[in-house]
Amino acid sequence: VLFVGAGPANLAAALHLKNQIAEHDEFVKKGIKHGREIGEIEIGIVEKGAFVGAHILSGAVMDALALRELMPDFLEQGCPVDTVVTEDAFWYLTKNRSINAPIVPPPLKNKGKYIVSLSRVCEWLAEKCEEAGINIFPEFPASEVLYDENERVIGVRTGDKGIDKEGKPKGNFEPGVDLLAKVTVFGEGSRGSLAKQLTRRLGLNKDKEPQVFSLGVKELWELPAGRFDEGKVVHTLGFPSDTDTYGGGWIYGMKNNVVSIGYVTGLDYKDPLIDPHAEFQAYKTHPAIAEILEGGKMLKYGAKTINAGGWNTMPQLYADGALLVGDCASFLNGQRIKGIHIAMKSGMLAAETILSAFDHDDFTSKTLKHFEEKVNMSWIYDELHAVRNFHGAFQKGRWSALI
């Protein structure tokens, strides 16, 4: 089994698959379960980044729902949680004022959830995978999907290494390799290049709404001691976006006087002059935000696309020899601005589907289509289906959407 992309969805999937196979074989051996023993299988994860976590960027307040299912003792096992959310606030920003809402909207209540560095969580999950005997190959960008004569996915081809900017081989040139697998799981994030090739070639977006993207720009700041409480989570609406533009900001208080601050702009904006990065820069000039950052030092910055379309934009999740998990399959709750727990759960359900495929020795859509059924029968459906029109509502402007 080959996993493309070492994000939370695929790392959870690989680990869960390893655990599920061991449990399945034990139950078959003891006669508790019908079926055949699967035994040792090769599980590999390819990752384009120089190390696991290098291409991971998120807010991130994590709902530990899926992680708790995967590993009930995740805290005891050393999951790198930064801090626990102790206080929520929701601010509406006008040009010069900040209005603290008396009631925090229920989807934005995060008390008891965890503020984390998602890249560090992925690094830790990768260590757990390697301890379980799963092979992880960083610096292996997958460049194309491999198919057999029946259009069944049979693996991926990795890109050539050691190429100069003219595309010519350098002294350390290594040609790409073909990695073949019975099942290939695509968990490449919100704009996965192979997932785009796959959905286009096999028509997996047929009868689905087109994806809607937002862009989140984020910075980590070190502030003067006592400036912003550790564990405090603030979400903001309003300035600098106009009422026709989908967007909002966040400030999360982390350990050691560090805050995560960022701004999301919907890329379906109407004003052609909007620049998401400039929107974030303007956000930091608001008196309430500037007061927090004054005298601080910016440590890191980054940006990432976000699939905000939700349930109605979810592609068909399976094809012969392939499954789609995480962001590239639209597993994100746009209302809660949360996707880590849903991505991980999608990976775990994919692992259970793959186990069944090995049990039946069938890796076609006939068996893999059960992945979609598992998603529909899980809490993923309950969470995403209920908010399927959330982003769409904002196409008529902020006020009608909020109502």
Q: What is the pLDDT of residue 283?
A: 96
Contact (Cβ atoms closer than 8 angstroms) between residue 70 and residue 12:
yes
Helix (H) or strand (E) holding 173: strand 169-174
Q: Note the pLDDT tens digit of each residue in 17-30.
A: 999 999 998 998 88
Q: What is the pLDDT of residue 280?
A: 96
The segments of the chain whose pLDDT lies below 50 read none
Q: What are 305's strand-pairing partners?
A: 215
Structure tokens at 130: 């390697």
Unique residue bearing structure tokens 């790198």:
80
Q: What is the pLDDT of residue 398?
A: 86
Distances in Å between the Cα of 254 and the Cα atoms of 116, 126, 228, 319, 322 are 8, 23, 9, 42, 39
Q: What is the pLDDT of residue 99?
A: 93
- What is the crossing angle of helices 8-29 and 340-360, to 10°? 40
Q: Give this prediction's pTM.
A: 0.93
The residue among 201, 47, 60 whose CA lies nearest residue 120 is: 60
Unique residue bearing structure tokens 């005298």:
295
Q: What is the pLDDT of residue 169?
A: 85
Give me the amino acid identity at 72: P
Q: What is the pLDDT of residue 39?
A: 87
Give me the amino acid identity at 351: A
